[in-house]
Amino acid sequence: MSIKLKKQFENFHTAIALTTHHELQNKRTILQSDIENNLPDKLNEEEMAEITKSDLRFIDQGSWAFGVKTSIKPNVDGSGDQTFDRDVAVIIPLNKDKEENKDPRKIKKIIREILEIKDKRIPAIKDPCVTVNYSKEGNEIYHLDFPIYAKDSNEKLWLARGKEFSENYEWQEADPEGLNEYFQDHFSGEIGNQKRRIVRYIKKWKQNKYTTLGKDVPPSIGLTILACDNFYQYSEGDDLQCLHKTLQNILSKFSLTYDFDGNITKVNISCNLPTTPYSDVFYKMRDSDDHLIKFYKRFKKFAENIENAFKVEHDHEAANYVVKSLGEEFEVPPKEAKKDNSSLKKEDRFA
């Protein structure tokens, strides 16, 4: 028995997967070099630490991390969220309890100063990182985020949190390498390859349905963790079945509250980082009940479209359901020709 839409899903995954980006890699190399060549002297001048260039470590996090690689390309038609990013952790041997280092915003300001080129490269300090945006014709095309970690004498890592002028700032214990290992375990082997494809399909749905960035947008790391934790058993080559079952598993994790008229008034879903600090990845969306309600309704429609695709008989009809959620890049095979029963054998016609 043939697998429904097998070829179409293979072609679609090839079309959307972002496996390399030479320009982004080049920018990463340049920015890392700027930090390596300037940070040790800056820390020494400020009496924050005595380190050398070789003491610094840089590791990719998230979808660009080694063994993870779940990034997708922007939409070819220019719709949806067109930006993508790369997270590069900067790990510094630094005593966070030393008086000069107690305010984590200080090291972030130093990193920003190092990376800044007046009127050309203007980094920004965000709560979890220092970010550098790159634009073309006035529109952002990608950015690099540099979360800064202090490594203490016990080898523990502490993330520098806090916006530049915020009263809320702290050194937060974190485990970026442990998080990378969690994803690397999930994405290893043939099972991991299919799981990676499922994550990319879900990211493509997000890209199509959320056209701007904001607190109402489900973070990709949350969608990735949900997909990993609710992944349907490996089905070789059958991405439609696997996607259908995985979405159903995730959908069952939502809890709903209704009013007397049957309207949804509150939605909740639990999803925490699997490593220290085990924080809620959907915390920003909880600012408004509407954010999670919209997320649930859109995700439910996604699951329904894929369920319909899984249940209908013909590939043409199935692909049209997939397109509703994953976009026009998904190939729709032609309609199957109707069977001609006029040429039945004589003995069949007159039996």
d(CA 295, CA 216): 8
Question: Is residue 94 predicted with pLDDT exceeding 80?
Answer: yes
| 59 closest CA partner among 87, 95, 27, 31 | 87
Q: Is residue 336 part of a domain?
A: no
Contact by Cβ (8 Å): 191, 234? yes
Q: Is residue 351 part of a domain?
A: no
Domain count, the chain: 2
Residue 131 sits in the same domain as residue 247: no
Residue 131 sits in the same domain as residue 250: no
DSSP 338: P
For 19-46, the pLDDT digits (tens) are 888 999 999 999 999 999 999 999 999 9
pLDDT, position 77 = 53
Q: Is residue 314 part of a domain?
A: yes
pLDDT, average across residues 243-247 = 98
For 114-162, the pLDDT digits (tens) are 999 988 899 999 999 999 999 877 777 889 999 999 999 999 999 999 9
The CA-atom distances, in angstroms, between 219 and each of 16, 280, 320 are 19, 11, 27
- Which tokens is 38 given? 């300037």
Top pLDDT among 32 and 80 is at 32
Question: Is residue 17 predicted with pLDDT exceeding 90?
Answer: yes
d(CA 296, CA 308): 18
Q: Is residue 293 part of a domain?
A: yes
Residue 11 sits in the same domain as residue 33: no
Q: Full-prediction pTM beyond 0.85?
A: yes
pLDDT, position 283 = 94
> What's the sign of the alpha-carbon dihedral 68, 74, 75, 79?
positive
Residue found by looking up tokens 């349905």 in the block: 209
Helix 315-326 to helix 289-311 angle (10° resolution) is 160
d(CA 35, CA 110): 10
DSSP bridge partners of 90: 58, 148
Give the domain range for residue 64.
Answer: 19-174
Residue 206 sits in the same domain as residue 130: no
Query: If pLDDT is split at 50, 70 and 90, which confidence band does 234 have?
Result: confident
d(CA 73, CA 195): 18
Query: Looking at 146, 174, 202, which one is the last position of a domain?
Result: 174
Question: Is residue 177 predicted with pLDDT exceeding 50?
Answer: yes
CATH code at position 124: 3.30.460
Residue 222 sits in the same domain as residue 163: no
Query: Looking at 145, 174, 203, which one is the last position of a domain?
Result: 174
